[in-house]
Amino acid sequence: MDLLLESVSHRYADVEVLQNIDLAIPTGKIVCIIGPSGCGKSTLLRLIGGLEQPSEGSVLQIGEPPAESINPLTYVFQDFALLPWRTVEGNISLVLEDHGIRGSRADAIISDVLARTKLSDFRKALPKQLSGGMKQRVAISRALAVKPAVMLMDEPLSALDSQTRELLMDDLIGLWTREPFTSVYITHNLGEAVRLGHSIVVLSRRPGCIREIVEIPIPLIEREMGDTELEKKQKYLWDLMRDEAVAADQELLSV
Amino acid sequence: MSSSLQSNQQPGQSTDRPVFQQKKVVFRGGGFAPKSKRGVGAIVFILLIGFMELGTRAGFISNLTLPRPSDVFKTFVDLWSTGLLWKHLIPSLSRLAIGAFLGAFFGVAVGVMIGLFSYVRAGLVPIVAAIFPIPKIALLPLFVIWFGIEEPSKYALIAFGTFTPTVVATYGAVDNVDRSLIRMGQSFSLSWFSIVTKIVLPGSMPGILSGLRVSLAIAIILLVAAEMLGAEYGIGAYILEAGSLYDLERLFVGVAILSILGVVLSAVIGFFEKRLLDWRV
């Protein structure tokens, strides 16, 4: 299932947040969206997943999601959004219960996703016992449990320290390599974007519109920290964004 | 920066540098961190009662101002041994249980509705604000007309008094549920009912329980008021009778029973908080 954004614009009251976004999200690819702070990246992601409605334009779903997909458009949030009163297992079963998956079927899915995110030993732990990186692993396994057609990741690694971020990036690359998934990945970290993105969409500052789409043809598995080709791409992205970021930083907030 | 620090620590290496005096950095970070000190509460209690006992025995507290604690205890033992204690306590406890249950139940229900539905909020919040400050005791005659002089009017008074603080605490608690969790629920296409029962209600449990602490204390206060409505037996009736006879020993026995009741209820809520809210950081 592909996603297609057709001239999507969005405004809150009289502040225009996004302007005329045309974007295709092809199956099996990770599309990274970067942009200066406040450019509407997260809003764009909420529009894509149907948590908000665009003021103009539309988000289209091309083709049907695979039959086994329980929740086709699934988010991974920056703040993890785990229920603190449920165990790791309970947090995953939460999203299965409502789709009528209980008992041994749910058990099998939970064991599978926990194994894929290396969490099998933490099945009965409460979120408060887990480190930030572990919590995000739980959130990722919860997302995997509903077999999403598209994973919508909203700065999933931004709340983590840089070592944990490296580890989780490796995990994400591992997950994708074993079983390619489609993803829209919002980040403000250019390093993450060049490591994980098949294409990188650069948004301008508010009102956000697409400045450029940078393709990175190197396979994910071959991308390593300190790769000169990636460094060059990252430098190129930074040059694109630098002035915008300076201007965005000096903008007064209207809130 | 670090190199200059190192040379300060090893003054022997660079002889031309002046040798500075060493001084410990002053610790400024203490206090403002409440810790649980076991037994201090009990010691304060014992000291206070000991002082009263000593004062009344030595005579610098007259028997008219305070009853002697040992006499109060004797009166309590009498009450116990004659079986009157249970005769008073059981009707009081059942009034408290039924009244407080009704008030808390409807309070939580209405509070959750206010938290969830904008129309209910717009319609009921002003009404709750209007009935909250009414002293429920002032409405006693009204309750008698509505519910009769028997038990129902006592239940109603206690229920009414517990209702409003529970409503306010509950909708505040619902408002405080992390919105990002609710958005998460929606993003996984959970049903509205599931979001309410699995996310909103457990998330507001801490606020509801701390609201219940207040509501149940109010329920005990109102118990005494309710038993002013011609109750033959009950802790409130016992206190009122002792009060009108200026029987300070019996008055204090009744008051002490209410205090103990308050401590027990608070401990029960504390137990539930431990059991239900062990997920809190």
Domain containing A167 equals 70-184
- Check B187 against A146: CB less than 8 A apart: no
B276: three-class secondary structure by DSSP: helix
CATH number at residue A138: 3.40.50.300
CA distance B245 to chain A (A): 54
Are the C-beta atoms of A204 and A39 separated by less than 8 Å? yes
At residue B90, the pLDDT reads 92
Smallest Cα distance from B269 to chain A, Å: 18
A113 and A171, same domain (yes or no): yes
Q: What is the pLDDT of residue B2?
A: 46
**Cβ-nearest to B187 among A74, A79, A83:** A74
Are residues A116 and A83 part of one domain? yes
For chain B, list the domains and their CATH numbers: 68-276 (1.10.3720.10)
Which chain A residues touch B187 with a CB distance below 8 Å? Answer: 49, 51, 73-75
Please check whether residues A125 and A173 belong to one and the same domain.
yes
pLDDT at residue B13 tops 60: no
pLDDT at B200 over 90: yes
In a domain, A165, yes or no: yes
Burial class (CB in 10 A: 0-12, 13-18, 19+), A198: buried
Residue contact A83–B186, C-beta within 8 A: no
Q: Which residues contact B72 (CB under 8 A, 6 or more apart)?
A: B249, B252, B253, B256
Cβ count within 10 A of residue A117: 24
Using a CB–CB cut-off of 8 Å, the residues of B that contact A are: 180-181, 183-184, 186-191, 194, 198-199, 202-203, 205, 277-281
CA distances from A157 to A61, A75, A167, A226, B67 (A): 27, 13, 10, 19, 68
Task: Tell me what pLDDT residue B113 has.
Answer: 94
Is there a contact between A137 and A117 (Cβ–Cβ < 8 Å)?
Answer: yes
- Domain shared by A85 and A180, yes or no: yes
Considering the domain architecture, whether residues A75 and A153 belong to the same structural domain is answered as yes
Judge: A126–B181 Cβ closer than 8 Å, yes or no. Answer: no
C-alpha span between B151 and B76 (Å, rounded):
26
Check whether residue A99 and residue A139 sit in a common domain: yes
Chain A interface mutation, best of B183, B186, B188, B204, highest count of A Cβ atoms under 10 Å? B188
Residue A114 lies in a domain: yes
Residues 139-158 of A with CB under 8 A from B: 146
Q: Which residues are CB-neighbours of B212 under 8 A, at least 6 positions away?
A: B104, B166, B169, B269
ipTM of the complex: 0.87
Q: Is residue A125 assigned to a domain?
A: yes
Distance CA(B257)–CA(B235), nearest Å, equals: 8
pLDDT digit string (tens) for chain A, length 255 residues = 888 888 888 888 888 888 888 999 999 899 999 988 777 888 889 999 889 898 988 999 888 888 888 888 999 999 999 999 999 999 999 999 988 888 888 899 999 999 988 889 999 999 999 988 889 999 999 999 998 889 999 998 988 888 888 888 888 898 898 888 899 999 988 888 888 889 999 988 878 888 888 888 888 888 887 788 888 888 888 888 887 878 777 777 654
CA distance A243 to chain B (A): 32
A141 & A101 share domain? yes
Residue B1 has pLDDT above 50, yes or no: no
Residues A174 and A206 reside in one and the same domain = no
Q: What percent of chain B has pLDDT over 70?
A: 94
Going from the C-alpha of B21 to that of each of B8, B10, B15, B18, B204, the distances in angstroms are: 10, 13, 15, 10, 57
CB atoms within 10 A of CB A223: 18
Q: Say yes or no for a CB contact (<8 Å) between A71 and B186.
A: no
- For residue range B134-165, list pLDDT tens digits in order: 888 888 888 889 988 888 888 999 999 999 99
> B210-246 as b/e, with b when 16 or more CB fall inside 10 Å?
ebbbebbbbbbbbbbbbbbbebebbbbbbbbebeeee
**Quick check: is A209 in a domain?**
yes
Residue A55 within any structural domain of the chain:
no
Instruction: Calculate the alpha carbon distances from A48 to A19, A29, A30, A148, B178 in Å.
Output: 14, 16, 14, 14, 23
For the stretch B65-77, pLDDT in tens is 888 899 999 999 9
Q: Is A94 on the interface with B (CB under 8 A)?
A: yes
A123 and A173 share one domain: yes
Domain assignment present for residue A140? The answer is yes
3-state DSSP assignment of residue A5: strand
pLDDT in tens, B77-107: 999 999 888 999 999 999 999 999 999 999 9
Position A27 in a domain: no
Q: How far apart are CA A15 and CA A17, in angstroms?
A: 6
Residues of chain B contacting A83 with CB distance shorter than 8 Å: 181, 198-199, 202-203
Count of domains in chain A? 2
Residue A8 domain flag? no
Which member of B183, B184, B279 has the closest CB to residue A85?
B279
Q: Tell me, what amino acid is at B75?
A: T
Bridge pairing between strands A73-76 and A2-12: unpaired
pLDDT value of residue B47: 94
Cβ contacts of B201 on chain A, cutoff 8 Å = none
The pair phi, psi for residue B184, each rounded to 5°, is: -60, -45
Are A82 and A162 found together in one domain?
Answer: yes
Instruction: Let me know whether A131 and A89 are in one domain.
Output: yes
To the nearest whole Å, the CA of B216 is away from the closest chain A CA by 25
Q: Are residues A207 and A105 in the same domain?
A: no
Residue B212 — very low, low, confident or very high, per pLDDT cuts 50/70/90?
very high
